[in-house]
Structure 1
Amino acid sequence: MAWEFLNILAVSAFAFSGAIVALNERYDIFGTFILGIATPFAGGIVRNIALDVPVVHVWEQGYLLYVAFITISIVYFFPKSWVMSWDRWNIYLDAIGLSAFALQGASFAIANDFPLGGVIFASILTGVGGGVTRDVLAQRRPMVLHQEIYAVWAMVVGVVTGLGIIDIDNVIQAYILFVAIIMCRVLSYHLGWHLRFRDLYRL
């Protein structure tokens, strides 16, 4: 039940984020739904392909696909003035999706008995894959490659779960990690933390 809630939250957050980006880029209804659906599901598909395990296609996502459709419909059909005012919250939605999907990726790898490297890799791909796909489809530079710390937080999830520091099957520990990663992502955004060493050199 705990994972189902996290999945719903993550899909809703990333679908909302993708739809908001599509509207900002003046996409039509088809483009908005494509971007809104790709954002929550692309990371898992890329992860499975990279790890050479069976791919769960978008149309096989069950109720999560309906969650995405409902979320995108709300974004698209609500008054645009309301929706654009929600854009300021997109960073928080993105942080929720990043954290939840990174946890999902780590859980997937651990359940399939992957070593530490595989857990980290799965966590990163699942966590950032949707955001990268969203940015590429929107013809934006993926934030993971040039903006503030992003993929590092997904990597942290893979490290602490892969090493057994956090028991991914313990609901309380999993939710503590989930909230902690959201806070770290939001904090790094507001404080402008970067991985550009030239900035550190200037200091």
Structure 2
Amino acid sequence: MPYELLNVIAVSAFAFSGAIVALSERYDIFGTFILGIATAFAGGIIRNIALDVPVVHVWEQGYLFYVALITISIVYIFPKNWVMFWDRWNIYLDAVGLSAFALQGAVFAIGNGFPLGGVIFSAILTGVGGGVTRDVLAQRRPMVLHQEIYAVWALASGLLVGVGVIQIDSGVQTYALFILIMGCRVLSYHLGWHLRFRDLYRL
């Protein structure tokens, strides 16, 4: 049950984020839905391809597909002056999706019997895949390549789950990790934490 709810949260957050970016870039209704759906589901598809497991197509996502469609539809009917407001707050939506999907990716890898390396790899791909796809399709520089610490938080989620620090059958620990990773991502954004060696050298 915790992971079902996290899936809903992640899909909603990334679908919302993708739709907001599409509208801020003046995409039409078709482009808005395509970008919103791609943001919500690309991470899982990229992960499955990379791990050589069967790909669950977008139209086979069940109720999650309808969650994404409803979310995008709500965003599309927003008053247009709300779009730029939400675009400025997109970092928070992205943090929610990153944290929830990274955790989902780690659990997916464990369920399929992957070792620690596979769990971490799955968490990273699932967590950052949607955001990278969104930014590339919107012709923006992907956050993972130039902004504050980003993929490291997905890696941390996979590591904590993979080594057993977080028990995946515990709802309390699951949500605690979700909030922790989300908070770390937001904190790294506001404090401007980077992994650039020249910044470490200056310290």
Q: CA deviation at 1:24?
A: 1.3
Is 1:8 paired with 2:8? yes
CA distance in 1: counterparts of 2:6 and 2:49, whole angstroms: 23
Aligned to 1:117: 117
Unaligned runs of 5+ in 2: none
Q: CA deviation at 1:68?
A: 0.6
CA distance in 1: counterparts of 2:82 and 2:132, whole angstroms: 26
Aligned to 2:164: 164
CA distance in 1: counterparts of 2:169 and 2:119, whole angstroms: 14
Judge conservation of contact 2:128–2:151 (CA < 8 Å) in 1.
yes
Counting matched residue pairs gives 203
Q: CA deviation at 1:198?
A: 1.1
Aligned to 1:101: 101
Q: CA deviation at 1:89?
A: 2.2
Amino acid at match of 1:98: L
CA deviations over 1:34-84 (Å, ceiling 9, x no partner): 100000100000000000000000000011111111111111112111232
Aligned to 1:198: 198
CA distance in 2: counterparts of 1:84 and 1:71, whole angstroms: 17
Q: CA deviation at 1:170?
A: 1.1
CA deviations over 1:66-122 (Å, ceiling 9, x no partner): 111111111111211123222232111110100000000000000111000000000
Is 1:91 paired with 2:88? no
SS at match of 2:89: helix
TM-score w.r.t. the length of structure 1 is 0.97
Is 1:58 paired with 2:58? yes
Aligned to 2:149: 149
Amino acid at match of 2:112: N
CA distance in 2: counterparts of 1:51 and 1:131, whole angstroms: 19
Judge conservation of contact 2:24–2:83 (CA < 8 Å) in 1.
no
Q: Which moved more, 1:110-119 or 1:77-86?
A: 77-86
Q: CA deviation at 1:168?
A: 1.5
CA distance in 1: counterparts of 2:137 and 2:69, whole angstroms: 18
Amino acid at match of 1:39: T
Aligned to 2:82: 82
Judge conservation of contact 2:39–2:130 (CA < 8 Å) in 1.
yes
CA distance in 1: counterparts of 2:171 and 2:63, whole angstroms: 22
Q: How does 1:41-52 map to 2 (within 5 A)?
A: 41-52=41-52
Unaligned runs of 5+ in 1: none
SS at match of 2:92: helix
Judge conservation of contact 2:47–2:125 (CA < 8 Å) in 1.
yes
Overall identity of the aligned pairs, in %: 82
Q: CA deviation at 1:200?
A: 2.0
TM-score w.r.t. the length of structure 2 is 0.97
RMSD of aligned alpha carbons: 0.9
